[in-house]
Amino acid sequence: MPYIEIGRENSGAVELYYEDHGEGTPVVLIHGFPLNGASFEKQLPPLLAAGFRVITYDRRGFGMSSKPSEGYNYDTFASDVKILMDKLDLREAALVGFSMGTGEVTRYLGTFGSERVSKAVLAGPLPPYLLKTDLNPLGVDQGVFTKIQEAILADRPAFFKDFFANFFNFDVLGGTLVSEEAVQMCWTVALNTSPIATYESVPAWLEDFRDDLMKFDVPTLIIQGVDDRILPIDATGRRLPALIKDSKLVEIKNGPHNVCWTHATEFNGALLDFLT
């Protein structure tokens, strides 16, 4: 199993677990909260069949990567991506982020530029700026995030159960587009996330990405479910075309947050059309 060292904490190395498959133009898939790189299992086969080299990794604190006590902010997350990109010497890569992973894509391009990047994909996006303020009235109230952190501290497994119910809109799509077993799989993966990472990731969601978005200089695809309950489309995806040059928004009708799973055929079609 390959690992890349991204830092140290006290006596131990901090490492990212990654997987690197196929040949061709590289596509880096960056996962959402609170999952890992394996959550792209419905995207990996069609991307490989289309002739792409596909790289997934587990964010620090998640999956099989190290679980340090610090670094859960987007400046650090983006620096981790840069170490991965440089170590693997990826060029002309497509950066594809889902949910929390869209923050890495956005901060990476805003900080390090597009020297190694040819295209960007923001699926179920976190940007531009999630926190509601007087100057950002389309955002979400601070109290929502305070309650999330309180729920994580009170009973992390129970929080994940409720989270995934809305992640998939299970009350509407359960038994048709997503099974109970698929939700259970995600819950099991989430339990392996560091408790510190689970809690400390929440403030990172409130970072302001608007300046980063203005620096995008690569074609960008935005994909989002219209019925996204985790990151409402009016606060996120529908705001992005006005902020990103050369961008296109694809809205998936009846789609929940995780359209990568529930609407994989539609999602993969839009993704491959954009990448090829």
Measured CA to CA, the distance from residue 155 to residue 199 in angstroms comes to: 11
Residue 34's φ and ψ, nearest 5 degrees, are: -110, 50
Measured CA to CA, the distance from residue 204 to residue 215 in angstroms comes to: 20
Point out the catalytic residue in the list 99, 194, 201, 247: 99
Measured CA to CA, the distance from residue 47 to residue 68 in angstroms comes to: 32
228 catalytically annotated = yes
Residue 64's φ and ψ, nearest 5 degrees, are: -95, 10
273 catalytically annotated = no
**Backbone conformation region of residue 19, classed left if phi is above 0, alpha if psi is from -120 to 50, else beta:** beta
Q: Say whether the peptide bond before residue 34 is cis (omega within 30 degrees of 0).
A: yes
Q: Strand 220-225 relative to strand 53-57: parallel, antiparallel, unpaired?
A: unpaired
Please tell me whether residue 221 adopts helix, strand or coil conformation.
strand
99 catalytically annotated = yes
Point out the catalytic residue in the list 79, 228, 247, 263: 228
In the block, tokens 């587009």 appear at 177
In the block, tokens 């949910």 appear at 99
Scanning the chain, the segments in alpha helix (DSSP H) are: 44-49, 74-87, 101-112, 142-154, 156-167, 170-173, 180-191, 195-204, 210-213, 259-262, 264-275
Measured CA to CA, the distance from residue 186 to residue 190 in angstroms comes to: 6
Active site residues: 99, 228, 257
